[in-house]
């Protein structure tokens, strides 16, 4: 550290802009979207601070207009991955020794670049690549990413200031060393903020990183790289590679210097990665840290004291914003028989007002799902529900992939609480509802707890404090993020640290100091002022 105990700015959440008619931000985003949609961008990899091209190029197309090509990206071969690893290890010599305040300066600057000059660009890229509405892009790419960068700097200083007690005879200190070797970030398509945060928070703590973004998020990943570069992340500290995930991962995990995996994505992939790391455990120089946030089968439970309109609004926002492609999206609901008719009436009425289409038209609430594979999978479930005697589709159920991968917000009501869409993560705009007898509230808690392997998010709607308390206790292990009278989505950095247990992940809470602690290896230093000159203790005399 330099000469002073420096204080960092107190982190504040970035305000969400409205994009209402007549606002400057609305004009800016429309212009940025049009410009980027009609350009033909070339996206190289980013290794050792250099743009790296290969002979293997792939096209980029928006999910809502899949015949339109907006650019190309370059895919890695094994040599690129090996270069990214050796570059990172070389960069570590300087980066791991850089005083923390210099690292903080870089990432605080990155936060202001996201919130300011890059705001329209990162939002427009997220609208194009991931088909987010402007509001969904704003809360993710602009605000959550800015929040991660700001809050992580503050959390880092809180960690560093956590020091042991000392005595007059000896001074005890802990230094929070970065991990030895290099770390590996694998990120999902659905949040630009997560894509940026996973490599950034490891680098902030002094680590060097190989980052592999999702193929479906590369357009917005490119904006993140431009921001890191402009903020002053030195060459080799964060290296970005695209391409075959298995080849890239095999190469990374084969290195004895691999020291940590920061993953967000699906559960099966994460478990497979854990297994691969375990199989190679004897080859590593250190025990790799493994952090993974994965799938969910998130629930809404309404008690018969709940206000029906609040329940239907929670279902619509929780299940259908971003087409249900949030790990936290509500995808199963348990509603009481007595108030179901009223909730149903509101739900169907409200859903009939939702418009679907390209995010370029700002009045659309629902856009396309991410790719054809996902579209086909979701459609299979809808078709099976149409044929099942246990399921009844009461809203939506239509789809069309001729121009983009559009699926209507779909509500299935089932008489079987273990119907297939009650337990599996579909990652699309479908919610399945089970109606319970009002008197079975307590046993419904048990049903919710036991139905799925996941435990990510969940919500209780009720105005009865005894029912709320019963749900809080009965569902203690069913969700890592639990909401009372709110939808189960929309966690805010610094306010609701995010993550779930069971099959949903290691629950290391993105957007908290707990997560950052996984990327350091503390060293305890004891300094004794007057050392003994005689080995004998008094009891020996």
Provide the minimum distance between the beta carbon of 402 and ligand NAD in the complex, in angstroms, as a whole number: 23
From the candidates 327, 360, 408, 425, give the one annotated as an active-site residue: 327
Instruction: Count the Cβ atoms, other than its own, within 10 Å of residue 458.
Output: 27
Provide the minimum distance between the beta carbon of 104 and ligand NAD in the complex, in angstroms, as a whole number: 25
**CB contact at 8 A, 240 and 52:** no
**CB contact at 8 A, 263 and 510:** no
**Which residue number, 32 or 88, has a Cβ lying nearer to ligand NAD?**
88
**Which residue number, 264 or 410, has a Cβ lying nearer to ligand NAD?**
264
From the candidates 293, 321, 360, 408, give the one annotated as an active-site residue: 293
Provide the minimum distance between the beta carbon of 447 and ligand NAD in the complex, in angstroms, as a whole number: 22
Provide the minimum distance between the beta carbon of 454 and ligand NAD in the complex, in angstroms, as a whole number: 8
Provide the minimum distance between the beta carbon of 336 and ligand NAD in the complex, in angstroms, as a whole number: 28
> For residue 132, what is the DSSP state?
-
Q: Which residue has the tokens 């060459």?
A: 235
Provide the minimum distance between the beta carbon of 78 and ligand NAD in the complex, in angstroms, as a whole number: 15
**Which residue number, 177 or 280, has a Cβ lying nearer to ligand NAD?**
280
- Phi, then psi, of 335 in degrees rounded to 5: -120, 145
**CB contact at 8 A, 414 and 369:** no
Per the annotation, the verdict on 201 as an active-site residue is no
Per the annotation, the verdict on 327 as an active-site residue is yes
Between 100-115 and 218-231, two packed helices, what is the crossing angle to 10 degrees?
A: 130
The radius of gyration of the chain's CA atoms, rounded to the nearest angstrom, is: 25
**Which residue number, 103 or 212, has a Cβ lying nearer to ligand NAD?**
212
Q: Which residue is nearest to ligand NAD (CB)?
A: 265
**Which residue number, 322 or 399, has a Cβ lying nearer to ligand NAD?**
322
Provide the minimum distance between the beta carbon of 497 and ligand NAD in the complex, in angstroms, as a whole number: 11
The Cα–Cα gap between 318 and 295 comes to 15
- Phi, then psi, of 508 in degrees rounded to 5: -90, 10
The Cα–Cα gap between 57 and 119 comes to 28
The Cα–Cα gap between 42 and 21 comes to 33
Beta strand pairing call for 50-52 and 45-47 = antiparallel
**Which residue number, 329 or 467, has a Cβ lying nearer to ligand NAD?**
329
- Token readout for 22 is 């007549």
**Which residue number, 408 or 425, has a Cβ lying nearer to ligand NAD?**
425
**CB contact at 8 A, 40 and 60:** no
Plot region of 218 (φ>0 → left; ψ -120 to 50 → alpha; else → beta):
alpha
**CB contact at 8 A, 149 and 118:** no
**CB contact at 8 A, 370 and 218:** no
Q: Which helix (H) or strand (E) holds 366?
A: none
Chain positions contacting ligand NAD, by CB under 6 A: 186-191, 194, 212, 214, 245-246, 249, 264-266, 269, 272, 293-296, 327, 425, 427, 456, 498-499, 504-505
**Which residue number, 70 or 198, has a Cβ lying nearer to ligand NAD?**
198
CA dihedral 440, 444, 447, 451 (to 10 degrees): 140
Q: Which residue has the tokens 């169907």?
A: 348
Q: Long-range contact list for 462-467, CB < 8 A, 24+ apart?
A: 462/302, 462/303, 462/305, 462/306, 463/303, 463/305, 463/306, 463/307, 464/303, 464/305, 467/303, 467/305, 467/441
Provide the minimum distance between the beta carbon of 491 and ligand NAD in the complex, in angstroms, as a whole number: 9
- Token readout for 183 is 């770390």
**Which residue number, 206 or 295, has a Cβ lying nearer to ligand NAD?**
295
All residues at 6 or more sequence positions from 321 whose CB lies less than 8 Å from its CB, including other chains: 133, 136, 329, 365, 489
Catalytic positions, written as ranges: 293, 327
């Amino acid at each position: 550290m330099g000469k002073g105990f420096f204080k960092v700015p107190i982190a504040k959440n970035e305000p969400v802009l409205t994009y209402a008619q007549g606002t400057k931000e609305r004009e800016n985003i429309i212009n940025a979207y049009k410009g980027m949609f009609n350009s033909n961008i070339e996206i190289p990899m980013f290794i050792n601070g250099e743009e790296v091209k290969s002979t293997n190029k792939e096209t980029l197309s928006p999910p809502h207009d899949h015949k339109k090509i907006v650019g190309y990206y370059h895919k890695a071969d094994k040599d690129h991955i090996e270069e990214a690893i050796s570059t990172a290890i070389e960069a570590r010599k300087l980066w791991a020794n850089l005083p923390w305040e210099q690292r903080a300066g870089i990432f605080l600057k990155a936060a202001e670049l996201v919130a300011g000059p890059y705001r329209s660009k990162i939002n427009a890229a997220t609208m194009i690549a991931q088909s987010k509405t402007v509001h969904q892009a704003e809360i993710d790419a602009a605000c959550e990413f800015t929040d991660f960068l700001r809050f992580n700097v503050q959390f880092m200083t809180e960690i560093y200031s956590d020091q042991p007690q000392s005595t007059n005879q000896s001074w005890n200190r802990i230094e929070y060393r970065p991990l030895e070797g290099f770390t590996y970030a694998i990120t999902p398509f659905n949040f630009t903020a997560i894509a940026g945060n996973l490599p950034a928070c490891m680098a902030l703590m002094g680590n060097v990183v190989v980052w592999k973004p999702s193929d479906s998020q590369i357009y917005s990943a490119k904006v993140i790289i431009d921001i890191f570069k402009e903020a002053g992340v030195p060459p080799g500290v964060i290296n970005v590679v695209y391409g075959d995930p298995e080849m890239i991962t095999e190469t990374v995990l084969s290195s004895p210097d691999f020291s940590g995996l920061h993953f967000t994505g699906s559960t099966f992939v994460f478990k497979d990665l854990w297994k691969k790391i375990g199989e190679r455990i004897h080859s590593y120089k250190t025990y790799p840290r493994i952090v993974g946030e994965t799938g969910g089968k998130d629930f809404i439970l309404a008690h018969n004291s709940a206000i029906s309109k609040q329940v239907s609004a929670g279902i619509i926002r929780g299940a259908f914003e971003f087409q249900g492609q949030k790990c936290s999206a509500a995808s199963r609901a348990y509603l009481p028989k007595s108030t179901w008719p009223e909730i149903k009436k509101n739900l169907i009425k409200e859903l009939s007002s939702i418009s679907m289409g390209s995010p370029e038209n700002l009045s659309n609430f629902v856009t396309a799902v991410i790719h054809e594979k996902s579209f086909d999978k979701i459609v299979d479930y809808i078709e099976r529900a149409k044929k099942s005697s246990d399921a009844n589709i009461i809203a939506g159920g239509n789809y069309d992939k001729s121009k983009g991968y559009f699926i209507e917000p779909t509500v299935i009501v089932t008489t079987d609480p273990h119907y297939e869409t009650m337990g599996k993560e579909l990652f699309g705009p479908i919610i399945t509802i089970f109606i319970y007898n009002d008197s079975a509230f307590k046993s419904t808690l048990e049903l919710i707890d036991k139905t799925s392997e996941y435990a990510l998010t969940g919500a209780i709607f009720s105005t009865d404090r005894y029912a709320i308390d019963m749900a809080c206790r009965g569902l203690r292990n069913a969700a890592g993020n639990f909401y009372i009278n709110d939808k189960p989505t929309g966690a805010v950095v610094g306010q609701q640290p995010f993550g779930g247990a069971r099959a949903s992940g290691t629950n290391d809470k993105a957007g908290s100091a707990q997560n950052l602690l996984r990327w350091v290896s503390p060293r305890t230093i004891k300094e004794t002022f007057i050392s003994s000159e005689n080995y004998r203790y008094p009891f020996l005399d």
